Amino acid sequence: MKLLLISHGSFASGLLSSFEMIAGKNEDISAISLTDEGIGEFSLRLKSYLNEHREETIFILCDIKGGTPFNEAYREYLANPEKIRLITGMNLPMLIEMGVMLSDDADFEELFTVGIHAGQASIEGIIESFEEEDAIEF
């Protein structure tokens, strides 16, 4: 199994860098960014990656639904739904959970579900005020 991070700008590569700082390098995780080179170049790099790994199952984690990276990946998913899963709204907790499980030979569908849950569960609004004795020291 492979994880491919895709995004506008350097978000995907930055997220991968953060993952590697926390969990170490993983050869099964890659990033492709939409840059000023344009949609055509992004699409070529995406198709090249998917073709290179066509025998494997691939999770594509994307920054935002409806954006160009998502739209290009969605076309590829529709062409090959048994080998590709697409998740939008990627974040670091999602990547850490999926990246660690990827190393443990997790089940494809289980990893998909865990990734979505980890991403959603990590979003939290902090609105409580702390008592002086509970204050977090920085």
pLDDT tens, per residue, the chain with 138 residues = 999 999 999 999 999 999 999 999 999 999 999 999 999 999 999 999 999 999 999 999 999 999 999 999 999 999 999 999 999 999 999 999 999 998 667 888 899 999 999 999 999 888 876 665 556 666
- List, edge to edge, every strand of the sheet that includes 29-34: 29-34, 2-8, 58-62, 84-88
- pLDDT for 131: 61
Helix axes 11-23, 92-103, angle to 10 degrees: 60
Question: Across all residues in the chain, what is the average pLDDT?
Answer: 92
Gap between the Cα atoms of 27 and 19, Å rounded? 12
Model pTM above 0.85: yes
Q: Which domains does the chain have, with CATH numbers?
A: 2-122 (3.40.50.510)
Contact 91, 119 (CB under 8 A): yes
61-85, pLDDT tens digit by residue? 999 999 999 999 999 999 999 999 9
